[in-house]
Structures are given as C-alpha cells and as structure tokens.
Amino acid sequence: MEKGNSIPEEFDDIRPLLDSEVEETIEALLSDNKFRRAIEPVIKPLTWEQLSKAMRGCKTISEFQSKIIYPTVLNLIHKTTSELIGFNWEHFMNGKSHVVISNHRDIVLDAAFLNILFFEKNLGTTEIAIGDNLLIYPWITRLVRLNKSFIVKRGVSIRQMLETSKHLSDYIHHTVCQRQQSIWIAQREGRAKDSNDRTQTGLLKMMTLHDSAHPLDMLQELNIVPLSISYEFDPCDYLKAKEFQLKRDNPLYKKMPADDLENMITGITGWKGRVHFRFGKEINEKITLLKEINEKGVLLDEVAKIIDEEIYRNYSFFPFNYVAYDLLTETSTFADKYTSDDVEKFENYLNNQIRKIDVPNKDIEFLRSKIIEMYGNTLKNFLTISTSS
C-alpha cells in the first residue's frame, strides 16, 4: 500500500503532486482556457460548470482520481470500447509492489485503462511514467501530475543523460521499495508504431543505476511484472502509417507537438473495440538464473528477452490479427480463425483508414502494408515463443 506523501524533496522536479498541492493546481487548471477547450468535448454530457464544481470538491489525489478521472475514463470506455478486461490478476495481487512494464499502444490510454482496472479491483492505482516531450502545455503537466504521473526527462543533453537517468532510477526504487507504490512504465520510449514490441535495454539499464554495481539485485527488487496490452482496433493506425511514409520520404522528418496532440485526441476518442490487459508472471525467478552472467550488456539483453517473451505469450488475438498475419506472410496459416466476412471487413477497414491519410505523393500500397504489419506483428511475435511456452 502507498505510505502517504513521504517523497523526499530531491524528487520535486519529477514526482507527482502531493495532496497539499491539489487545490492550488485545480484552480490553475480551471482558469486555463486551453484546458477547458480540450476537456469540454470529452466530459459530455457533463457541463463545464458541473466539472468545475466537482473538481473544486477534491482535496486529495485519491479524491481527484475517484471523483474526476474514474468517471471520465469510464464514460470514455463506454463510448469507445466494446469491453475492457484484465486477466491473470494472481500475478500482480501477491502483496508486493511492482514495476509493471508493458508494450505501448496508446499515448494516454494504456496507463489510464490500467488504472481503471486497478480501481475496480480496489487496488491502489499505479504511478505512471510520462515523457516530458508530451507535456506540450502547462495544463497537460498539471493534469498528469494530479493523476499520479512522474516525469521522464528526455530533452536533456548527452552530458546530463547519466545524471538524469540515475535520478529517475533513484525515484523508481524509492517509490517501489520504500513507499510500496507500484508504477507503470512502457517497455520503450514512444509507441512501437508497427506493433513489433521490443523492450529497450536502455530502460533496464536506467533501472539498475540506483546501484550499478549490482544490476541483477536492482532489477529483482523492483518485482517486474510484464503486461500485454491488446486493442482490437488502433484508432491511430492511419496516423502511424502516415508517419512511416513521411519518414521514408524524408529521413529528417520529425514530429511536431501538434502531431502528438492529434495522436492523443485520436487515441482517446477513436473506437477501440475489445481491449485486454493480461499480466504475465513476475520475472524474478527467471532472472535469478542469469546470476552467472558478469557482462552487464549481455545480462540486460537476456532480461529484455524474458520480458518480451512474457508480453508475447499474453497477447489477445482478434479476427483482424489473424487476417493480417496471413496477408503479411501470404499464407492461410490461420484461415480457421476467421471468415470471408472478416476478410472483407478488414479490407474495408484498411481502405477507410487509408482514405483518412493526407500526405504528399500518397503511396497507398506502402500505407496498406504498414497497417497490415500493425495488426499482424503481434501474432508473428507470439509464434516465436509459443512452442516453448
């Protein structure tokens, strides 16, 4: 359980807000017109006046999550999903605090949906790692810190990187080990836009910096639990495909903050169908077997593989995944998992999503292949480990 707000001052630059900062932050949010413009469409049928009154009634982080975040996200779930289910809770509910490492599909909703599932199990919500590149406006920073997010600083120089990473590592270890507060962090910086999920060893290296002389011990004390997130439909698939073509055509292409905002809004408001969160097994037992590995780089590569395999093993698959895999591999491997109607629906879906893409020299075949990859790669990765499961 979380032990209150006992966070050392040294972490003030990255920590979530404290209860003592809630009222002031809420007033700052409510006076920000950009926050109002962004949030009003999401809260309907609630009015701005009703939301303001409800927010001003919150005095703690817990109250803000239960009275504002929970009903707002629940309303979103009802509008944009056909189901949201969590599986394998026994891997998480063992009396320990954990670092939950998951694949990353949606900028906002991966963590938001996870915390709804925790809330409904009467478990404390996780703290959420969020990159500072997404904190485009002051209201976003305030809102995410109100919702138990801590900040991962990415826009730092190479010279500052080690110090920044060590600071983050210290915070994560303090949070999990001293405060007994679980956290969620994505397995990589940014989303895997082709759904080819790979844990970045840089993430694991950061987690060991708290005591870099004992990397295995540092990973084990975080009680890492891999989590597989599966969306039946990814509302941002066409935006991801568009980015692939823009990067192909211009290797110097860089996304702008407005692009991140478009992805956030599209992901939040778009139709997702069935959404499944499935916990894998805590990895401590498996990584104990790596104790003879002395080279840190090799050790981290092996730990990343263990996390990846656990994520692959626990995906959920829907008809579009099976259709996409067979299109991707030009086989009929999973023909028994879908109907001709499913194939037609997928073709129509592809065409509709590609129609939304506005890009110079639009390459329809390339865009189509990229969206097919997004739906087929999870199955492709699953097959690499299914024989050894």
Q: What is the pLDDT of residues 92-145, one digit of tens each?
A: 888 899 999 999 999 899 999 999 999 999 999 999 999 998 899 999 999 999
In a domain, 289, yes or no: yes
Q: Give the mean model confidence (pLDDT) for residues 6-34.
A: 96
Q: Is residue 217 part of a domain?
A: yes
Mean pLDDT of 327-355: 98
Q: 320: closest CA among 337, 307, 296? A: 337
Confidence band for 386, pLDDT divided at 50, 70 and 90: low
Please check whether residue 248 lies inside any domain of the structure: no
Q: What is the mean pLDDT of residues 49-72?
A: 96
Residue 44: the pLDDT is 82
Q: Can you tell me the distance from the alpha carbon of 86 to that of 261, in angstroms, rounded to the nearest whole number?
A: 28
CA pair distance 112, 127, nearest whole angstrom: 11
Q: What is the pLDDT of residue 376?
A: 98
Distance (Å, whole) CA 317 – CA 375: 9
Query: Residue 224 belongs to a domain with what CATH number?
Result: 3.40.1130
Q: 117 and 61 in one domain?
A: yes
Q: Tell me: pLDDT of 368 over 70.
A: yes
The verdict on 135 and 213 lying in the same domain is yes
- C-alpha 361: how far from chain center: 32
Share of the chain above pLDDT 70, in %: 98
Q: Would the pLDDT of 350 be above 70?
A: yes
Q: What is the mean pLDDT of the segment spanning 149-160?
A: 91
What are the φ/ψ torsions at residue 208 (nearest 5 degrees)?
A: -90, -10
pLDDT for the residue numbered 41: 85
Q: Looking at the predicted structure, is the pLDDT value of residue 387 above 70? A: no
What value does the mean pLDDT take over residues 368-387?
93
Final residue in a domain of this structure, among 296, 316, 336? 316
- As a whole number, mean pLDDT of residues 326-346 equals 97
Same domain, yes or no: 382 and 294? no
Q: Indicate if 365 and 350 belong to the same structural domain.
A: yes
* Whole-number pLDDT of residue 94: 83
In the chain, what is the straight-line distance between the N-terminal and C-terminal CA atoms, in Å? 33
**Do residue 61 and residue 175 come from a single domain?**
yes
Range of the domain at 282: 9-235+270-316
Long-range contacts of 200-207 (CB under 8 A, 24+ apart): 200/304, 201/297, 201/300, 201/301, 201/304, 203/101, 204/300, 204/303, 204/304, 205/165, 205/296, 205/300, 206/165, 206/168, 206/169, 207/99, 207/169, 207/172, 207/173
- pLDDT tens per residue, range 199-218: 999 999 999 999 999 999 99
Quote the CA–CA distance of 127 and 149 in Å, as a whole number: 5
What residue type is 3 in one-letter code?
A: K
Domain end among 316, 346, 379: 316
Count helices and strands in the chain by DSSP H and E runs: 17, 7
Structure tokens at 274: 């069935």
Pair (288, 347) in one structural domain: no
Residue 123 lies in a domain: yes
Q: What percent of the chain has pLDDT over 90?
A: 86
d(CA 7, CA 128): 15
In contact, 108 and 267? CB cutoff 8 Å: yes
Confirm whether 257 is domain-assigned. no
Q: Do 276 and 342 fall within a single domain?
A: no
Q: Assess whether 83 and 220 both reside in one domain.
A: yes
Query: Long-range contact list for 129-137, CB < 8 A, 24+ apart?
Result: 129/183, 129/184, 129/185, 129/186, 131/189, 131/190, 133/260, 134/107, 134/260, 134/264, 136/257, 136/260, 136/261, 137/34, 137/35
| Distant-in-sequence, close-in-space partners of 336: CB < 8 Å, separation ≥ 6 | none
Q: What is the pLDDT of residue 1?
A: 32
Residue 257: per-residue pLDDT: 85
Looking at 301, 316, 331, which one is the last position of a domain? 316
Please check whether residue 23 lies inside any domain of the structure: yes
Residue 246 lies in a domain: no
Q: Name the least confident of 15-24, 186-195, 232-241, 351-360.
A: 186-195
Beta strands in 9-94 (DSSP E): 81-87
Q: Do 312 and 325 reside in the same domain of the chain?
A: no
Checking if the pLDDT of 197 tops 50, the result is yes
In terms of domains, do 207 and 284 share one? yes
Same domain, 231 and 338: no
Q: Please confirm whether the linkage preceding 319 is cis (ω < 30° from 0).
A: no
Residue 281 falls within a domain, yes or no? yes
Residue pair 106/267 in contact by the 8 Å Cβ criterion:
yes
Q: State pLDDT tens for residues 251-296.
A: 999 988 889 889 999 999 999 999 999 999 999 999 999 999 999 9
Sign, Cα dihedral of 236, 242, 245, 250:
negative
- Say if residue 55 is in the same domain as residue 157: yes
Compute the average pLDDT of residues 239-253.
96
Residue 33's contacts (CB-CB under 8 Å, 6 or more residues apart) are none
Question: How many structural domains comprise the chain?
Answer: 2
Q: What is each CA distance from 336 to 285, 321, 376, in whole angstroms?
A: 37, 13, 16
pLDDT band of 3, cuts 50, 70, 90? very low
